[in-house]
Structure 1
Amino acid sequence: MKALLAGVVVVAGWALAARAELQRDIEYGQAGGERLLLDASVPDGAGPFPVAILVHGGGWDSGDKQGSDKPGNGADITPWFAPFTAAKFTWFSINYRLAPKHRWPACFDDVQTAIRWVKANAAVYKGDARRIVLVGHSAGGHLVALSATRSNADTRVQAVVGFAPVTDHEQDLAQRGGLSIALQHLLDRPREVTPDALTQLRAMSPVNRVRAGQPPVLLIHGDADKTVPMQQSLTFQKRLKSAGVACELITIKGGPHGLLTWSKLDPTYEAAMIAWIRRTLGEAGN
């Protein structure tokens, strides 16, 4: 395994900066001929600290655990790192296998592998395996939302946060004229919506897999999102509540699909997110 790179992260933009050791390129598994890697941020102090597993977006065919493979684009998740570090979470940012080299469900399977690895190894990084939140944006939001609906004993977490998550693959087929390029890459299918393709899209849509007893969900969505319509989060929330699953929604007024401007549009949403996660996870030992 490649030697771990360690450093000290000083968080700017929060009133109380926190110190954390950042360890890069930790192997959490192997699949499809690839090493599956994650980065770990470990807070200063004794712990155990609550744990966040961060899942980047990028249309299932791009994106990166360090923020993005193209920093500053719509898939850039760097805005997550400061609030979770400042709030003293042990956080793990994961990479997963990407399309078109790796087709569905490789990316989903890797998220499940990461959850199992984190639960087994959280204590090594001062984390509390009984207080884990899954966080995902866009395609990553799809993966964490689906993980919540399909979890079992070894992959269940205590909370899920979806940033502009894709929850209904059928919803915008008409607007896109069939399967998007991203879905064509992911599923190895043409643009045409065949009955078989529609069956598959419905099966992999979290909105159709909601069940009672799954972890509570926080949805955060910009109302100016032109990539994943906010209606998807509104419908998903309604479906979750109908099943008795706790779900809150934070709307970013004027927020686009990418996260980079959200804190300027709504300076309170990051604190509200952290507060919701803390309430939902509870205290250590509970």
Structure 2
Amino acid sequence: MRQTTQAAIALTVVLSCSAYAKESIVPDKTVTYKTLGDTKLKLHVFNPQGHKLTDKRPAIVFFFGGGWMGGTPRQFYQQAKGFAALGFVAMSADYRVIRKHKTTPFECVKDGKSAVRWIRQHAAELGIDPGRVVAAGGSAGGHVAACTGVIQGHEEDGENGDISTLPNAMILYNPVIDTTEKGYGISKVGRERKTEISPCHQVRGGVPPTLIFHGTADKTVPYENVVRFTKLMKEAGNSCSLVPFKDKNHGFFNGSFFRPKNGDADFNITMEKSISFLKELGFLDAE
């Protein structure tokens, strides 16, 4: 209640460019959520102040962007730190990428689902509520997050299928949402499989409540894609809200920690809108 309001007010101050030196945001710990041969995929974990394992906090996991080619969990450190300040156990996930692991977007989706499953499976160790898990991400990472909520199948063999990979909500930042010729990534998924992990083409009922941020001048991922996705989601009976950022290009949401030239104005707006969204869902106390 009042504590959440105070934390929200403090958030834009605490996470402003002047408040954090470039090297000063570091996770509280890292944990391995998936091992494939010599590859260990980790979650970079940010805990709320004074966190106890009995607290059953809401959780949020972020997936970085980079066209499935590369990227770093550091991209979402600023967001993760902000959500931890609000009472979340916040995580930024590593996942396999093309340059480093010689994989495809299909493996990225599998890793995203593995991360959600691992978080839920280890709820007691993390001190989180397995019924309040948010998947979030930007660009290709937004695609990974969206696929955890939309795409059926594409799960890693050998995992516990009794534990759901479906998040309870999604927050997507200029996400790749259409992998056909009308969107982004057809050269990486292949023409013969272009709709298989394309959220626009796989919308169904039962997709978690979704919040999308997207620049209307995005030259990488067409704004029209998220407009169409939002319409399809609503037609399927799902809750989906689109927040347009007028004349903004791709990556506008990155804060000053990851993109110093961006400043924090748009970052702060996305945080404020996310807080309102999560309050409506009961993930944060209302005022």
Say if 1:145 and 1:242 are closer, same or farther in 2 by CA, change over 3 A.
same
Give yes or no for the alignment of 1:217 onto 2:210: yes
AA matched with 1:90: V
1:134-149 to structure 2, matched below 5 A, reads: 134-149=135-150
Q: TM-score, normalized by length of structure 1? A: 0.77
Cα distance in 2 for partners of 1:283, 1:80 equals 16
Say if 1:16 and 1:24 are closer, same or farther in 2 by CA, change over 3 A.
closer
Within the candidate set 28, 42, 46, 2:47 is matched to 42
Cα distance in 2 for partners of 1:34, 1:160 equals 27
More helix by share: 2
Cα distance in 2 for partners of 1:21, 1:140 equals 20
Cα distance in 2 for partners of 1:150, 1:98 equals 19
Q: Secondary structure, in 3 states, of the residue corresponding to 1:60?
A: coil
Say if 1:262 and 1:158 are closer, same or farther in 2 by CA, change over 3 A.
farther
Cα distance in 1 for partners of 2:279, 2:126 equals 19
> What is the aligned partner in structure 1 of residue 67 from structure 2?
59
Cα distance in 1 for partners of 2:12, 2:133 equals 23
Q: Secondary structure, in 3 states, of the residue corresponding to 1:248?
A: strand
What stretches of structure 2 of length at least 5 have no aligned partner?
1-9, 16-24, 154-162, 255-261
Q: For the aligned residues, what is the CA RMSD? A: 2.6
Q: Percent identity?
A: 28
What does the per-residue CA deviation read over 1:181-215, in whole Å, with 9 as the maximum and x for residues that have no partner?
x654x44xxxxxxxxx4341112210111111121
> What is the aligned partner in structure 2 of residue 245 from structure 1?
238
Deviation of residue 23 (structure 1)? 3.0
Q: Secondary structure, in 3 states, of the residue corresponding to 1:14?
A: helix
> What is the aligned partner in structure 2 of residue 89 from structure 1?
88
| 8 A contact 1:252–1:266 mirrored in 2 | no
> What is the aligned partner in structure 2 of residue 271 from structure 1?
272
1:5-154 to structure 2, matched below 5 A, reads: 14-15=12-13, 22-31=27-36, 33-45=38-50, 46=52, 47-67=55-75, 77-100=76-99, 101-150=102-151, 154=164
How many corresponding residue pairs?
245
Q: TM-score, normalized by length of structure 2? A: 0.77
> What is the aligned partner in structure 1 of residue 249 from structure 2?
256
> What is the aligned partner in structure 2 of residue 165 from structure 1?
175
What stretches of structure 1 of length at least 5 have no aligned partner?
1-11, 68-76, 174-179, 188-196
Deviation of residue 255 (structure 1)? 2.1
1:173-212 to structure 2, matched below 5 A, reads: 184=187, 186-187=188-189, 197-212=190-205
Say if 1:104 and 1:13 are closer, same or farther in 2 by CA, change over 3 A.
closer
AA matched with 1:14: T
More strand by share: 1
